[in-house]
Amino acid sequence: MLTRYVGRMIGRPNPKGYDWVFSHDYSAGLLCYIYDMGTVCVVDLLTVCTSHRTMSKVIQELIDCGLVQMTVEKKGHTAKKFHVTSKGRSAARLLNKLRTTVDGFPHGSGVNTRIENF
C-alpha cells in the first residue's frame, strides 16, 4: 500500500512492537493535522482523534519515531504544545500529496482522517 511506502522512507521501526508508526489508525491524520496547523496543543488534537487515551498513545509513538516534538510551557498551568520535526515535515508533505493524488481532494476538507481512508 501507499502508506507502507511512506513508512519505509521514514526509517526505523517503532520500538513498541508495531511494524511502523503509521500502523495505528490516527497517526497519519494527526501528523498531517499538526503539519497543517503549525503548533497545536492537546485540546486542538482532540478534533482529529476524539479519544484522549488513543491520542496520547499515537502522539507518543510519533514522538518516539522523531516525527513530532513536544514543548512544555508553564504559564500558570502546564501547556503541552506539539510541532513537527524536519523528518515529520517531509513525511506529512508526502502523505498530503498521496491523499490529494488518490482521493482527489486536499487534506483538511472535512473528510475522516483515519488511515483506512488513505
pLDDT tens-place values along the chain, 118 residues long: 445 445 444 555 545 554 566 766 788 888 989 999 999 998 888 888 888 888 888 898 899 889 999 999 888 888 889 999 999 999 989 888 888 887 765 555 554 545 444 4
Fold classification of 2-107 is Arc Repressor Mutant, subunit A (1.10.10)
- pLDDT given for residue 81 in this prediction: 92
Q: In whole angstroms, how far apart are CA 38 and each of 2, 31, 32, 43, 65?
A: 25, 11, 10, 14, 19
Domain boundaries, the chain: 2-107
- pLDDT given for residue 117 in this prediction: 46
Provide the 3-class DSSP secondary structure of residue 79.
strand
Q: Is 34 exposed, middle or buried (0-12, 13-18, 19+ CB in 10 A)?
A: buried
Strands (E), the chain: 40-41, 68-75, 77-84
pTM for this prediction: 0.69
